[in-house]
Amino acid sequence: MSGRTLKVFTGAGNPALAQEVCDSLDVPLGEMTLSRFADGEVRISIDESVRGEDVFVLQPTSPPVNEHLVELLVIIDAMRRASAARITAVIPYFGYGRQDRKTRPREPISSKLVANLLTTAGTNRILTMDLHAGQIWGFFDIPLDHLPSRMLLVEDLRRQNPENLIVVSPDIGGTQRAREFAALLGAPIAIIDKRRDKPNQVKEVVHVIGKVYRRRAVIVDDIADTAGTLTMAAQALLKRGVVEVSAYVTHAVLSGPALSRLTQSPLRELVVTNTVALPPEKRIAKIRVISVAPLLGEAIRRIHEDRSVSDLFEVQTQPQPV
């Protein structure tokens, strides 16, 4: 936006990522005080002028989801009341993304509710990564730029010089994601058919669809939460003759029994991004983290300059083997 300064602010969701993004943009992190009242209410103070400026607020709505979501809403409201010219919410991980539809009577569509809250608070634009479901895009009545992480993950995988590779979707719903990942690598895909009784609980793997025998399998997914899907998928693949199994996942939520499951699992490695802050106690030997800061930084720069963001991920795919 011509004549307007680019400013980046952050809440408590992932300040390390926000600082990396600012370093890539060569701008200082915005000055803001975040505190709590005695009863736990969020208190925000913007410590520099944002009047007429192009403001980006980086905050993943990761666990504790409600805390980080309310922080984001309050920061946006403060920016609006301080007369920022445009406010872009940069949400690397979009919490409530798995509640994108009604699966039974009397259920909310929480993703839509969150979209409404962000818009009402004063958000002018959304920048996010790897939404769990494509229809969430349509929940917003403001512009949304969606960055897939597959370019970063595929680039990392290529550096490993994999041979005899097969890309695996851990469920039917992730087939398109696996197909796009495989197209960049020129690799075949396989799909795991599983049964889930309730959220975060996988009952059993029913079928592995695809020729996986004596191949190196790479499971690709958007979220690793309790890691039940990942570990059961790895076990099922090894039973069907896979040589080794690794996984590439964008959002490392890693809640509940995730770490113990991963430690005991046959997964060789889990590669994740830093869309969700990973504290030291969760950085076990099997987990390797790739930074999305350069990608987010370039997307922010392009939004600020009113240039295309989609050019960042319009890459040529490789032919898949028959």
Distance CA(69)–CA(65), nearest Å, equals: 6
Model pTM above 0.75:
yes
Query: Prior bond to 64 cis, omega within 30?
Result: yes
Closest by CA position to 168, among listed 249, 262, 252: 249
Catalytic residue among 7, 194, 211, 282: 194
Q: Which residues of the chain have pLDDT under 70?
A: 1-2, 195-206, 314-322
pLDDT tens across 274-316, in order? 999 999 999 999 999 999 999 999 999 999 999 999 888 765 4
How far apart CA 104 and CA 119 sit, in angstroms, is: 27
What CATH fold (topology level) applies to the domain 6-147+293-313? Rossmann fold (3.40.50)
Q: What is the pLDDT, as a whole number, of residue 157? A: 94
What pLDDT is attached to residue 193? Answer: 85
Q: In this structure, which topology does domain 150-290 adopt according to CATH?
A: Rossmann fold (3.40.50)
Q: Where are the domains of the chain?
A: 6-147+293-313, 150-290
Note if 203 is an active site residue: no
130-169 pLDDT tens trace: 999 888 988 999 999 999 999 999 999 999 877 899 999 9
Domain 6-147+293-313 matches domain 150-290 at the CATH topology level: yes
